[in-house]
């Protein structure tokens, strides 16, 4: 069964190019991801199809109105029922939401999907959020012009976890955050690369780490694990602590981390 996303947006044209390339194209062509776009203005009243108004209490910015959103959601629910789809949770992209994590992406990838509400302007009338929104998600501690980019990000992250979408089925298992840590470095051909330096520095030869050419799978696996630990401890030490709290670090991992701290 496909993962279904119903996207409520004022700019559906942003999604078409994204769905025609790479991972998301394969996901949609193979029908493991079904993205349906709903133009919010189609559910607004009047000649101007207005979907926003001034905020009570004053202040800058406009607020998205409840009525068009409710009509759009009702149409989505009817379409889901006609397709024998279960009721999908409504996700609002908002700076006030919980940060999106790989763990949450994995949960969504294994579920039936979601209704993705792409907010605009100052925000969405809180009464609609209280009545209909099941979850608020943020990409980080910054503000975007709307929810379309977060929606595209979520769809892409979910799509690449679907069976048959990636050429190598195990690729996503080695991604950063899949096991709670950052990914290790990767290398390809040639084995020795001449890098031209900037300024007055001379050109230098840089080789692939010898262990990756050894053919010894156990040594390669350990080297990659240690690179993960080194990179994560340096850049995201809180992820090391979280993995430790979950009991996911071996004695060998802890010994390596202790050596790093020396």
122 tagged catalytic: yes
Location of each CATH 3.40.1280.10 domain in the chain: 3-159
Q: Is the pLDDT of residue 24 over 90?
A: no
Catalytic residue among 25, 49, 89, 95: 95
95 tagged catalytic: yes
Location of each CATH 1.10.1270.20 domain in the chain: 176-261
To the nearest whole number, what is the mean pLDDT of the chain?
Answer: 91
Q: What is the pTM of this model?
A: 0.82
68 CB contacts (<8 Å, ≥6 apart)?
A: 40, 41, 43, 44, 45, 51
DSSP H or E segment with residue 204: strand 204-207
Q: How far apart are CA 239 and CA 182, in angstroms?
A: 9
Catalytic residue among 122, 179, 183, 226: 122
255 CB contacts (<8 Å, ≥6 apart)?
A: none
* CA distances from residue 226 to 27, 129, 233, 238, 250 in whole angstroms, order as listed: 33, 45, 10, 17, 12
Catalytic residue among 79, 175, 183, 226: 175
52 tagged catalytic: no
Q: How far apart are CA 215 and CA 197, in angstroms?
A: 31
Ramachandran area for residue 137 (φ above 0: left; ψ -120 to 50: alpha; else beta): beta
- Of all residues in the chain, the percent with pLDDT exceeding 90 is 77
- Of all residues in the chain, the percent with pLDDT exceeding 70 is 94
* CA distances from residue 227 to 56, 96, 153, 231, 232 in whole angstroms, order as listed: 54, 34, 27, 6, 8
160 tagged catalytic: yes
Fold entry, domain 176-261:
1.10.1270
Q: How far apart are CA 12 and CA 218, in angstroms?
A: 48
What pLDDT digit, counting tens, does each position of 206-247 carry? 999 999 999 999 999 999 999 999 999 999 999 999 999 999
The pair of three-digit structure tokens given for residue 203, joined into one six-digit string: 């050109």
| Domain 3-159 class in CATH | alpha beta
Residue listed under structure tokens 């009243």: 45
The pair of three-digit structure tokens given for residue 64, joined into one six-digit string: 């998205």
């Amino acid at each position: 069964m496909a993962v279904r996303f119903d996207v409520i947006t004022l700019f559906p044209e942003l999604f078409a190019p994204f769905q025609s390339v790479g991972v998301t194209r394969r996901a949609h062509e193979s029908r493991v991801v079904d993205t349906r776009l709903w133009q919010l203005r189609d559910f607004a009243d009047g000649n101007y199809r207005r979907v926003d108004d001034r905020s009570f209490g004053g202040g800058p910015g406009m607020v998205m109105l409840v009525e068009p959103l409710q009509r759009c959601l009702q149409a989505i629910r009817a379409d889901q029922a006609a397709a024998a789809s279960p009721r999908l949770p409504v996700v609002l992209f908002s700076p006030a939401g919980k940060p999106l994590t790989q763990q949450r992406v994995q949960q969504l990838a294994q579920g039936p999907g979601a209704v993705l509400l792409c907010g605009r302007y100052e925000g969405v009338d809180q009464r609609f959020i209280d009545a209909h929104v099941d979850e608020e998600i943020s990409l980080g501690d910054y503000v975007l012009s709307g929810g379309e980019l977060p929606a595209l990000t979520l769809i892409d992250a979910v799509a690449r976890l679907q069976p048959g979408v990636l050429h190598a089925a195990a690729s996503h298992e080695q991604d950063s955050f899949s096991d709670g840590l950052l990914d290790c470095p990767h290398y390809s051909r040639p084995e020795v690369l001449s890098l031209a330096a900037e300024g007055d520095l001379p050109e230098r030869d840089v080789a692939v780490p010898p262990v990756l050419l050894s053919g010894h799978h156990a040594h390669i696996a350990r080297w990659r694990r240690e690179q993960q630990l080194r990179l994560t401890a340096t850049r995201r030490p809180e992820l090391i602590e979280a993995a430790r709290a979950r009991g996911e670090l071996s004695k060998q991992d802890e010994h390596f981390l202790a050596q790093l701290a020396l």
